[in-house]
Structure 1
Amino acid sequence: MSSSAAAFLVRRALSAPPVFLRLRRPPSLFYSSLASSPSSFPSPARAAVPLSSARVSSFTPLRFASSSSKVSADDTLKRVIDSEIDCVVQSDDPIREVDLPDGFPFEIIDNPGDQTVVLKRELAGETIEATVFMNYDEEQDLNEDDDDDDARDDGHDESSIKPTISLVVTIQKGEGPFLEFCCNFNDDKLEIESMSIKKRDDPDAQNAYEGPEFSDLDESLQAALRRYLEARGIKRSMYDFLHEYMINKDEREYLTWLKNMKEFIEK
């Protein structure tokens, strides 16, 4: 898949803000402030304590507190991870294999650890690939819209809203240029966001003419391009299967992610 398609995926994927840890500086040792204030020198009895001993006694409690805090935080995290794993495993909708629909024409390439899957088929000298991912950003936008009174009056139920399935479809013939479609799939229709012709030796050429916006094309041309995809197996009837498959994959990947995190914490 070209880097432009990968960039499309990155823009659509969820992003979580990084967590920054603020480290507090240890308090200054008492003797550093005494040097600038002669009138506050300690009594001879205190002054007899070697400076190195004062340094050890000041830092030892800090080291002990830091180690104790780390153990406590690790134990808490492990308990929370175990609880979350139990919730996933004992869910009312357990992780299971999703059956392929009858006559499904694509091979499914599903690599563990990836957030996407690839559909692939060969048809009459063409190689058709579709990189599929769940677009949760669209689901969030729909949920926000449903907070409006008008949406509630229309009978929309938040539990019935399904996220958009997004695809980057490439159609290749031999070693020459190929077509790339960026699409959104929902339970009503297949929407094409963009279509471009890519050069295999330079798929991300900066100055290449990519045609007008898809929505600006003549409606008959838009309809013909949708039919072109449908003839190659990219049909709106795939939505229910892809939705179920991607929800299942998300659960599997989440469970594996939790187990990997637990394994790291326990080392």
Structure 2
Amino acid sequence: MSRFISRIALSNVCRASVPQLARRAVPISRAFSSGLVRAQNTTSQLSEIVKSEHKVALAVDNELEPEQEQFLADSGFKVIEGKYESNVELYKTLPSGEEIRVFFDIDEVSDVELGAPEFGAEEGVEDKEQFDEELDQFESTFANVKVFISKPESNDGLFFNLMLQNSEEELFVDYFNYKPDAAKFLEQVKEKGTFLSSTEYQGPQFSNLDESLQLAVENYLEDKGVNEDLADFIFAFSEYKEENTYRDLLANMSKFLAK
């Protein structure tokens, strides 16, 4: 069931609520009184529905799968998150002394649907064409994942913008660049939530690079732990955190309506 109110339905409600010229004027005191009762009724109704939805949500287990807990233990990544924030950071120090940070937004990741539409072999050419169109649209959906690998001793690093595809739990390089001041860059991310300044060179489009360079970059990231296991964890953790955040929203909304 959708958590959002239809614009059409809302529009109809608004139109229905506009007084018609032919209607008899209602005394001010009576209008105020009936309006107050309606407000109380709608608040009470919403409060009850929110409580019910919260109860249903809590009845379903929402824990990270054992393999995801194991991923954190094996990889050494630590999760840095805010209770009411959608942005998540994974952080660890590599054996080389380098630091790696992975940034993603659970709202963006949760919007990426896994699994592709399927058509039976017996279906006709029109269905096949429809499938191709849907597949093209499907493949264009992805979430951005940011990776920053820095050297504390020299205070610089490499930044990679990756794409997390919906059809496969894999990470693909979009572009990369060099950050001469790691501390300044991380402060920019923290304060402004941006990874590129307005005048900064983004970096080359990865798909346009020589294949040998593409492969070398992919192997470099794989060696740093940027792999399919990380992609799988990002999907799983986003779903887990989104559900917890939704439950918190319902709980806080219920408290607000009860005041």
The alignment's TM-score, normalised by the length of structure 2, stands at 0.68
| AA of the residue aligned to 1:130 | V
1:89 to 58, 73, 94: 58
Aligned: 1:59 with 2:31: no
Aligned: 1:168 with 2:146: yes
Judge conservation of contact 2:158–2:177 (CA < 8 Å) in 1. yes
Moved more, 178-187 or 227-236: 178-187
Distance 2:81 2:6 in 1: 27
1:112 to 75, 83, 88: 83
Q: Which residue of 2 aligns with 1:182?
A: 161
Query: For 1:139, what is the secondary structure of its paired residue?
Result: coil
| AA of the residue aligned to 2:150 | Q
Moved more, 59-68 or 129-138: 129-138
Query: For 1:103, what is the secondary structure of its paired residue?
Result: helix
RMSD: 3.7
How far the C-alpha of 1:196 sits from its partner, in A, is 1.8
Q: Can you list the C-alpha shifts for 1:190-210, whole angstroms capped at 9, x where unaligned?
A: 211221223434774433333
Going from structure 1 to structure 2, the CA distance change for 1:17 and 1:132 (only over 3 Å counts) comes to farther
Query: For 1:253, what is the secondary structure of its paired residue?
Result: helix
Going from structure 1 to structure 2, the CA distance change for 1:106 and 1:262 (only over 3 Å counts) comes to same
Query: For 1:233, what is the secondary structure of its paired residue?
Result: coil
1:238 to 221, 227, 230: 230
Going from structure 1 to structure 2, the CA distance change for 1:179 and 1:17 (only over 3 Å counts) comes to farther
Distance 2:208 2:142 in 1: 22
Q: Which residue of 1 aligns with 2:99?
A: 127
Q: Which residue of 2 aligns with 1:8?
A: none
Q: Can you list the C-alpha shifts for 1:127-186, whole angstroms capped at 9, x where unaligned?
A: 11001334244328x66x5589449999xxxxxxxx966421111223543222121235
Going from structure 1 to structure 2, the CA distance change for 1:79 and 1:146 (only over 3 Å counts) comes to farther
How far the C-alpha of 1:244 sits from its partner, in A, is 2.4
Q: Which residue of 2 aligns with 1:266?
A: 258
Distance 1:250 1:194 in 2: 28
Distance 1:119 1:245 in 2: 11
Q: Can you list the C-alpha shifts for 1:187-244, whole angstroms capped at 9, x where unaligned?
A: 4532112212234347744333333211111122111111111111111123333322
The alignment's TM-score, normalised by the length of structure 1, stands at 0.66
How far the C-alpha of 1:255 sits from its partner, in A, is 0.5
Q: How does 1:21-60 map to 2 (within 5 A)?
A: 58-60=27-29
Query: For 1:138, what is the secondary structure of its paired residue?
Result: coil
Kindly name which structure, 1 or 2, has the bigger radius of gyration based on alpha carbons.
Answer: 1
Judge conservation of contact 1:116–1:132 (CA < 8 Å) in 2. yes
How far the C-alpha of 1:22 sits from its partner, in A, is 5.5
Q: Which residue of 1 aligns with 2:212?
A: 220
Judge conservation of contact 1:110–1:117 (CA < 8 Å) in 2. yes
Q: How does 1:182-201 map to 2 (within 5 A)?
A: 182-186=161-165, 187-200=168-181, 201=184
| AA of the residue aligned to 1:259 | A
How far the C-alpha of 1:105 sits from its partner, in A, is 2.0
Judge conservation of contact 1:138–1:164 (CA < 8 Å) in 2. yes
